[in-house]
């Protein structure tokens, strides 16, 4: 059973995500500069700023504004989807750091974004290292997730799970083993949630995998879902939604790596059964 340190480490993965996002932006900026054959000094001249500012952005120590990112891409003759992907990263990183404020009327929850994407979805992939995905949750577990903006109302949960168990969506789920032992609810309710996972894993359109604690697999920094071609990330700050090809491909690669490290079928059920036995309920 995970220690308090294990659970804290799972939570810290969420804290690491903004850093990882900033580094991805830095890599995109560096790639643009290198492909353009520009030195940092020359790029600084193009942008009308000092070379130190360029260096901080390239090292991930400073997140450029949206305008600066657009100007950077333009100076490096990068346009189209590659330029938009960099701008999208800058926007999300800036918002996380509090540089941008979303208007009140645009406030959104992960559950709301997921429900909207789910209504017409045909495929879905979920990776989880902190909590059972909302669409697989029992009513009690979903209520606990709701305190994080990630759970559904009882009616929405029933509607969403009806599409899932009715076979309308082909769903693959990869859980870090720690999720099975992280109790967001009382032991008896956690028992029910784990039993629900075993039940769902019997459906032909649902495949649940578990990454054993002994694999040494370096997990992605946070939970995420890929519903058709929409990527959703349930951060504490606010949920992130990506629809660009760049982000879709990036998260698809991360999911594929997690999927390869996971156990499926009877072996996954055994992992869940072990966690069930450890609840003591």
pLDDT tens, residue by residue, 269-280: 999 999 999 887
pLDDT confidence of residue 12: 43
Beta pairing partners, 114: none
Q: Which fold does the domain 4-96 belong to in CATH?
A: 434 Repressor (Amino-terminal Domain) (1.10.260)
Q: In this model, does residue 15 exceed pLDDT 80?
A: no
Give start-end residues of each CATH 3.30.870.10 domain in the chain: 108-278
Return the structure tokens found at 244.
Answer: 């660009």
What superfamily does domain 108-278 belong to in CATH?
Endonuclease Chain A (3.30.870.10)
Q: In this model, does residue 135 exceed pLDDT 90?
A: yes
Grade residue 17 by pLDDT with cuts at 50, 70 and 90.
low
pLDDT confidence of residue 65: 85
Other CB atoms within 10 A of residue 130 CB: 19
Q: Of the candidates 66, 32, 64, which has an alpha carbon nearest to the alpha carbon of residue 49?
A: 64
Which DSSP symbol is given to 263? B
Beta pairing partners, 210: 175, 263
Asked if 17 contacts 233 with a C-beta cutoff of 8 angstroms, the reply is yes
Grade residue 97 by pLDDT with cuts at 50, 70 and 90.
low
Return the structure tokens found at 240.
Answer: 């992130």
**Tokens 């659970």 map to which residue?**
7
Query: Residue by residue, what is the 3-state secondary structure of 75-112?
Result: HCCCCHHHHHHHHHHHHHHHHHCCCCCCCHHHCCCHHH
Return the structure tokens found at 148.
Answer: 């994080």
Burial 216-250 (b: 16+ CB within 10 A, else e): eeebbbbbbbbbeebbbbbbeebbbbbebebbbee
Q: In this model, does residue 214 exceed pLDDT 90?
A: no
Question: Residue 193, SS3?
Answer: helix
pLDDT confidence of residue 194: 96
pTM: 0.70
Q: Where does the chain show beta strands of DSSP type E?
A: 123-128, 170-176, 206-211, 224-227, 230-234, 239-242
Q: In this model, does residue 223 exceed pLDDT 80?
A: yes
Grade residue 21 by pLDDT with cuts at 50, 70 and 90.
confident
Give start-end residues of each CATH 1.10.260.40 domain in the chain: 4-96
Grade residue 84 by pLDDT with cuts at 50, 70 and 90.
confident
CA distance 140 to 3: 23
**Tokens 């019997």 map to which residue?**
202
Q: In this model, does residue 106 exceed pLDDT 60?
A: no
CA distance 114 to 234: 10
């Amino acid at each position: 059973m995970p220690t308090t340190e294990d659970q804290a480490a799972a939570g810290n993965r969420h804290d690491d995500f903004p850093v990882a996002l900033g580094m991805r932006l830095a890599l995109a900026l560096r790639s643009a500069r290198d492909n353009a054959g520009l030195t940092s000094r020359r790029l600084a001249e193009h942008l009308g700023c000092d070379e130190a500012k360029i260096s901080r952005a390239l090292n991930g120590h400073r997140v450029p504004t949206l305008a600066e990112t657009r100007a950077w891409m333009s100076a490096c003759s990068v346009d189209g989807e590659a330029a938009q992907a960099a701008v999208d990263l800058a926007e999300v990183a800036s918002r996380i750091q509090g540089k941008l404020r979303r208007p009140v009327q645009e406030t959104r929850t992960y559950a709301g974004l997921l429900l909207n994407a789910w209504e017409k979805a045909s495929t879905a992939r979920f990776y989880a290292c902190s909590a059972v995905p909302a669409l697989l949750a029992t009513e009690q577990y979903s209520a606990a997730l709701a305190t994080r903006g990630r759970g559904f109302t009882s009616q929405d949960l029933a509607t969403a799970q009806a599409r899932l168990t009715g076979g309308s969506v082909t769903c693959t789920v990869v859980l870090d083993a720690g999720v099975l032992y992280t109790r967001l609810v009382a032991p008896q309710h956690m028992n029910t949630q784990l039993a629900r996972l075993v039940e769902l894993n019997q459906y032909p359109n649902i495949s649940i995998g578990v990454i054993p604690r002994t694999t040494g697999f370096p997990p992605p920094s946070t939970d995420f879902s890929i519903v058709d071609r929409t990527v959703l990330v349930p951060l504490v700050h606010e949920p992130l939604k990506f629809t660009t090809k760049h982000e879709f491909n990036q998260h698809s690669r991360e999911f594929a790596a997690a999927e390869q490290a996971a156990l499926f079928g009877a072996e996954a059920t055994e992992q869940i059964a072990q966690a069930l036995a450890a609840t003591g309920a």
